Amino acid sequence: MKQIISRKNKRLILVTNDDGISSKGLRYLIELIKEYGDIYVVAPELPNSGKSHSVTINYPLRYSVISEQEGYCEYCCSGTPVDSVKLAFDRILPRKPDFVISGINHGSNSSINLIYSGTMGAVIEAAMCNIPGVGFSLLNYSKDADFSHCDVYIKKILEEFFKNGLSEYTCLNVNIPASNIKGIKVCRQARGMWVERFEERIDPHNEKYYWMRGEFVNLDKGTDSDEYALSNNYISTVPIQLDMTNYKMLKNIEQWDLKI
Amino acid sequence: MKQIISRKNKRLILVTNDDGISSKGLRYLIELIKEYGDIYVVAPELPNSGKSHSVTINYPLRYSVISEQEGYCEYCCSGTPVDSVKLAFDRILPRKPDFVISGINHGSNSSINLIYSGTMGAVIEAAMCNIPGVGFSLLNYSKDADFSHCDVYIKKILEEFFKNGLSEYTCLNVNIPASNIKGIKVCRQARGMWVERFEERIDPHNEKYYWMRGEFVNLDKGTDSDEYALSNNYISTVPIQLDMTNYKMLKNIEQWDLKI
């Protein structure tokens, strides 16, 4: 770990994302949170949307210094968001951070999209190390998305997050409507799925290839879900845990005949 | 969808993995389960360990036919395990399969390793579409791992799985000791984490690069966890759900001051 540029009595915040170091959402987030502590940005050099919790095992990683000043340092990493967090923890940060903040993602990570998300992969990785984190996502996939309506809401959530903390091994999944925000709701994760319709094309060598295209389907009729909140122009805030055990089903499987 | 080679009144089983189409674990699994139905293998052409739930968005996918016979078809896909499942569902299988079986992975996917796992990514993808699945993993990372002690246990679990089914939107995470199996336990997911120690090397251009190396740490003292079962030479069987909401923490966050 480097012995530089982290100030005593200041929060140490690791900032990352999955859209890559140059994305507008990351830049907006950095400016918004500089006042809250010493900021270390360690983000993928390239876009990593849909990379989930993937890690780079069969290739080595690299990182480059972009900026090193008192209170603000910035690096880009050749790997995924989770690679960036792991490399930051072991090789870049002066100590384990107090918080990890990821985003702002260009696009939704509500419902089961959380499981595909590199933005959330980064904060789930932090939660595994018991470091509280928040992932922010805006429901606008455009590279030029307008984030200017988000600031007061993100600051409100972060201030409560810094003040109250989270239960151990937990992180927050925050999704923000593209416009006309009515307020902030605390929600559960909606049930949903993707229905794919791959688009077939023919390459110049007369071989078929397929572009993944699909549509998210909300399967949840509840009014307490993130999808419901978002469809009513509320920001959704869902606490996420790492234990994916289905405890109800566990009781059923205990009745199976598994004796050999 | 193709209109071939699926027999009436036969189970249709999609088989995949993350170690790639030529891995020994996949070959062993295929031979073991051929008796249970019509088998469609759609697996990554290359190793995809640690690819989690990642999907290929920015590049197109391809697949190749390896074999198409009555009751047994085999294809390899250029993408990840989740890509393979999505492409199989939309473009390769004659209909949605009855079951998805993934593995046998060369290495553990117990505890939070499930979240990094491409093997489990595939069956989690199936669970999102409400298709019951099982991921099998052996606690031996060797390419030449010996699977011969697994057959009676895998068959026992599969027969109960086919007979009883699973709750909706659920899958099973089965991990198998490398040797000396004492029996099968139904468990919850243990709490654990990885501690990374990146190995620094210098390339021929005098630039640093880093190999990810780490150690899994079991943080769970319970005797009902998958880690406990495995450390006592039992096969662990954990039902996995898609809802990652921390409901206890949700009650706490509802007390936060989030009014603007």
Please indicate, yes or no, if residue A254 is contained in any of the structural domains.
Answer: no
Q: What is the ipTM of this complex?
A: 0.95
Residue A3, CA distances (Å) to A61, A93, A97, A232, B194 in order: 21, 8, 14, 47, 23
Q: What are phi and psi of A230, to 5 degrees?
A: -65, -40
How many CB pairs (< 8 A) connect A and B? 252
Q: Do A245 and B56 touch (CB under 8 A)?
A: no
Instruction: Outline where DSSP puts E strands in B37-191.
Output: 38-44, 63-69, 72-77, 99-106, 133-138, 170-176, 183-186
**Closest chain A residue by Cα to residue B212:** A57
Range of the domain at A22: 12-244
- Where residue B24 sits, what CATH number does that domain have? 3.40.1210.10
Per-residue model confidence (pLDDT) at position B1: 45
The 10s digit of each residue's pLDDT in B113-160 is: 999 999 999 999 999 999 999 999 999 999 999 999 999 999 999 999
Mutate to test the interface with A, among B243, B254, B255 (most CBs of A within 10 A): B243
Classify A214 as helix, strand or coil: strand
Pair of tokens at residue A175: 């999704």
pTM for the predicted model, two decimal places: 0.95
Please indicate, yes or no, if residue B30 is contained in any of the structural domains.
Answer: yes
A40 contacts A102 by C-beta, under 8 angstroms = no
Pair of tokens at residue B240: 């996995």
Q: How far apart are CA A17 and CA A117, in angstroms?
A: 10
Please indicate, yes or no, if residue B212 is contained in any of the structural domains.
Answer: no
Please indicate, yes or no, if residue B155 is contained in any of the structural domains.
Answer: yes
Please indicate, yes or no, if residue A257 is contained in any of the structural domains.
Answer: no
Q: Is B78 left (phi over 0), alpha (psi -120 to 50) or beta?
A: alpha
Domain count, chain B: 1
**Closest chain B residue by Cα to residue A191:** B243
A249 contacts B167 by C-beta, under 8 angstroms = yes
Please indicate, yes or no, if residue B137 is contained in any of the structural domains.
Answer: yes
From first to last of its 260 residues, chain A has per-residue pLDDT tens of 444 556 667 899 999 999 999 999 999 999 999 999 999 999 999 999 999 999 999 999 999 999 999 999 999 999 999 999 999 999 999 999 999 999 999 999 999 999 999 999 999 999 999 999 999 999 999 999 999 999 999 999 999 999 999 999 999 999 999 999 999 999 999 999 999 999 999 999 999 999 999 999 999 999 999 999 999 999 999 999 999 999 999 999 999 999 99
The 10s digit of each residue's pLDDT in B73-82 is: 999 999 999 9
Per-residue model confidence (pLDDT) at position B44: 98
Pair of tokens at residue A151: 């600031």
Give the angle subtended at the CA of A234 by the CAs of A231 and A238, to the nearest 5°. 95
B120 contacts B103 by C-beta, under 8 angstroms = no
Please indicate, yes or no, if residue A7 is contained in any of the structural domains.
Answer: no
Please indicate, yes or no, if residue B226 is contained in any of the structural domains.
Answer: yes
Q: Do B245 and A189 touch (CB under 8 A)?
A: yes
What is the percent of chain B where pLDDT is above 90? 96
Classify A195 as helix, strand or coil: strand
Q: Which one, of A243, A196, A235, lies nearest residue A215 by Cα?
A: A196
Partners of B173 in beta bridges? B135, B238
